[in-house]
Chains A and B, each alone.
Chain A
Amino acid sequence: MTVTEDKTPSTSPAKAELVRVHMRIKRYDPATDTRPRWQEFEVEMSPGDRVLDALHIVKWSQDGTLTFRRSCAHGVCGSDAMVINGENRLACVNLIRDLGTELVIEPIRGLSVIKDLVVDMEPFFAQYKSVLPFLIAKDDPGYKERLQSPEDRERYDDTTKCILCACCTTSCPVYWANSEYVGPAAIVNAHRFIFDSRDDAGQDRLDILNQKSGVWRCRTSFNCTEACPRGIKVTQAIEEVKRAILYDRV
């Protein structure tokens, strides 16, 4: 390793020159607003700060009524999906340095807005639950682990990464037009079990996804793949499910 060449991280206090960030945030208070309105804020941030940090500065020092969900602050819990500069992102994994000092922030689309950036997640979780997102194995392994080869484990690895943030589903034009569509996130979670060698209910899930609200609605536009903060190949997973239906099993 090179210790002489000093790599100073941008968060170092020594380098923390501040920049002025201008934020336009779409707001909605169900008690007083009949429709959403825009509000502007200015905050001083260091370039290495997260968009989530900027929202916190607003909430904590300018306007405590600004409302958004968040928890982990590093991209693993899936709470803070929002539309930032036109794209679905998690506010906690995007830095000012990367997005610039002009931020336009709106709630994700396709789920109804409850307040400011908080949307109703119930339909999203209901769709997730509709695809049997749990292991169904008929064998009785007794008092020992089931075996699974590294190759079989790898087969469904990509779709185990899902954090149910809804970035994909709420970027899907088909879902915006028709909320009956189960959406990419639910298909990803079905995929995770359909391609798990230990599972015996793949056919049941394929039957569910073969219905009219299922995979055939997808028009392969890749929005979902671009939106996924976990880098899951969402569209590919959907394609694999389609193929499994067409050619009977995996």
Chain B
Amino acid sequence: MNVHFHSYDAVIVGAGGAGLRAAIEVAGSVRTAVLTKLYPTRSHTGAAQGGMCAALANVEEDYWEWHAFDTVKGSDYLGDQPAIDIMCREAIDAVIDLEHMGMAFSRTPQGRIDQRRFGGHTRNHGEAPVRRSCYAADRTGHMILQTLYQQCVAKEVNFFNEFQVFDVLFEGEGKDRRTAGVVAYELETGDLHVFTSKGVLFATGGYGKMFRVSSNAHTLTGDGPGLLFKRGIPMQDLEFYQFHPTGIYGFGILLSEAARGEGGILRNGLGERFMERVAPTVKDLAPRDMVSRAIHAEIKEGRGAGPSKDYIYLDLTHLPPEQIDAKLPDITDFARTYLGIEPKKDPIPIQPTAHYAMGGIPTNVHGEVVIDGEGTIVPGLYAAGECACVSVHGANRLGTNSLLDIVVFGRRGGRAMADYVTSVDHPTIGRGAEEPVKARIEELKAGSGTEKVAEIRSTLQEAMTRDASVVRTEESLLDSLATIEDLKKRYTQIKIDDKSDVFNYDLTEALELGHLLDLAHGLVVGALARKESRGAHWRDDFPTRDDKNWMKHTLAHLEDDGSIRLDYKPVIGGKYEPMERKY
């Protein structure tokens, strides 16, 4: 196996919205390499549909403080308020910044950036839905990703496309360690590349592929969090995983909340608008955790639709066809393509789908990775985007706040890293930095194992969707824990068919599965311990929020023996005191 060596001041791992936004910030001033396992424009940011919230007040009165209040409440009071304030205040700047870069926002008749309603976003602390989401039809993420990539092309950012990172390097030990680079695998050749670097920013996106029904791309396997977890970095709040209410039945492909923002209605098998009962004020535009649970309840109580009564309808049939074509062209096409249904005439069968990781690599508001409750950082190590946990989303993210998160904290992380790397000298790495990755790959290729990667992965996905999703109990979580522990044992015996060097996705899928197993393990152990219901984490056996004992963040540690150890750190409060979440 050939090994190549590179030296940079800064390395960014991932080229979705967060990685690209960071690159724009860093690349001008610092020698930077951006490593990505996909061509940048293929990152899953491009799949985002609905919009990005900012209190521009272009179409009605709005203030960033209202946005912050909604985000805190939406987070079920697990979000850190100083970080939320920063995000909501800088949102306005971030949208204008994107417009200046060329982003093709949808416009008002006056030519200003148009805004629409979205779940959980309200005027004046919950009075009524507010038009806060800036959008480009139902392809906002595509436009953001393209715009950021275009700017990187203009700035001649140095990309290493189809380079997959499998390890992070440190100089020194324990408390004295600092970041020293990464080890990447080049897909086209099978060669290893060691990048020494003063700073490394992870922006590898989510890990929704641990669930069977998921809106996430096949490549969203939690590589960044997974490899850091293995290197002793704790993961925060993994048990908070969001299930989006409206995935296309059977596929999990997302139909954006924008469909409801434009007036779409959820109906059960009897045709009832059941959200009226659950959230009398905002109805179908309640936050996702509530809507997903309401759908779960309708189905469980026998009011689902279809022969197995296992789905719900998203009804757009009453919307003017021109509005559907102008505002929701892509998602209505998805319904046509995958279900053969014309949404202008027939309601669309939907079910909740695994969507977004609120948890991940713990960071502060500068994108620096924080490893404990005291705010201790690992110098040179940064994370941003869905793989990170700042935490601005707490126990439940509001729609549109992730596109916002990735640009705000991508920029902040990039800026902090650029400052840091200009103030320190170059790290040194020992000989054989690539050895662990090299050994693992050689072992897999030589492999005498018997277990199939695809089988372990689908068993994991089944178990997670069945036992650790919208509604959890001690019993269901113990079941999923037993499955994961068994799968982790079987994982040590995997075999792959492809032993070649060139584009060996058989090999990379095998390595990705290791990340999914560890992160699922952390998720389930965290969920078992958390004996309350908060945001997306709902325990049927503990159906209330318990602020006295549980208003705290979970930190999961992956131990050398493969077990998970938990500790906790306090939530950072602010001006909003916890209250009951009613909509």
A interface residues (Cβ-Cβ under 8 A, vs B): 1-3, 6-15, 29-31, 48, 59-61, 63-65, 67, 70-79, 93, 95, 97, 114-116, 118, 121, 125, 129, 133-137, 141, 143-150, 152-153, 156-157, 160-164, 193, 196, 198-199
Q: List 11 A-B contacts (CB under 8 A).
A: A3-B347, A9-B340, A15-B307, A29-B502, A59-B505, A59-B506, A67-B503, A78-B41, A116-B503, A145-B56, A163-B41
Q: Are A9 and B339 in contact (CB under 8 A)?
A: yes
A134 contacts B154, CB within 8 Å?
Answer: yes
What residues of B have a CB within 8 angstroms of the CB of A135 in the complex? 101-102, 147, 150
Please, which residue of chain B has its CB at the minimum distance from the CB of A32? Answer: B500
| Residues from chain B with Cβ under 8 Å of A137 in the complex | 100, 102
For chain B, residues 267 to 297, give those with C-beta under 8 angstroms from any C-beta of chain A: 267, 269-271
Give chain A residues whose Cβ lies under 8 Å from the Cβ of B339: 9-11, 48
B44 neighbours in A (Cβ, 8 Å): 71-72, 77
Q: Is the CB of A71 within 8 A of B505?
A: no
Give Cα A165–Cα B247 distance, bound, in whole angstroms: 25
A30 cross-chain contacts in B, Cβ below 8 A: 502
Which residues of B have CB within 8 Å of A129?
153
With contact pairs A10-B340, A78-B42 given, residues A114 and B217 touching in the complex (Cβ less than 8 Å): no
Tell whether B219 is near chain A: CB-to-CB under 8 Å.
Answer: yes
Chain A residues with CB under 8 A of B219: 71
Q: Which residues of A contact B96 (CB under 8 A)?
A: 143-145
A19 to chain B, nearest CB (A): 16
- Other CB < 8 Å A-B pairs besides A77-B217, A134-B102, 8 of them? A3-B305, A7-B341, A11-B249, A97-B340, A133-B153, A147-B111, A193-B102, A196-B104
**How long is the Cα–Cα vector from A79 to B219 in the complex, in angstroms?**
11
Q: How large is the interface on B (under 10, 10 to 19, 20 to 34, 35 or more residues)?
A: 35 or more
Kindly identify, within residues 389 to 440 of chain B, every residue whose CB is under 8 Å from any CB belonging to chain A: none
A193 CA to B96 CA, complexed, in Å? 19
Does B574 sit within 8 A of A, measured CB to CB?
no
In the assembled complex, the Cα of A162 lies from the Cα of B149 at a distance in Å of: 13
**C-alpha gap A64/B330 in the complex (Å):** 33
Q: What's the Cα separation between A73 and B110 when bound, in Å?
A: 38
Interface of B is mostly: loop
Question: Closest B-chain residue to A78, C-beta based?
Answer: B42
In contact, A7 and B346 (Cβ under 8 angstroms)? yes
Q: CA–CA, A141 to B102, complex, Å?
A: 12
Q: A29 touching B500 by the CB < 8 A rule?
A: yes
Q: Which residue of the partner chain A has the closest CB to B38?
A: A71
* Nearest CB of B to A164, in Å: 5
What A residues does B307 contact at CB under 8 A? 6, 8, 12, 14-15
- Once A71-B218, A145-B112 are accepted as A-B contacts, the answer to whether A65 and B497 lie under 8 Å apart by CB is yes
Of listed B106, B154, B338, B349, residue having the most chain A CB within 10 A: B338
B150 to chain A, nearest CB (A): 4
| Contact indicator B111/A148 (Cβ below 8 Å) | yes
Closest A-B pairs by Cβ, 5 of them: A135-B102, A64-B497, A11-B250, A60-B454, A147-B111
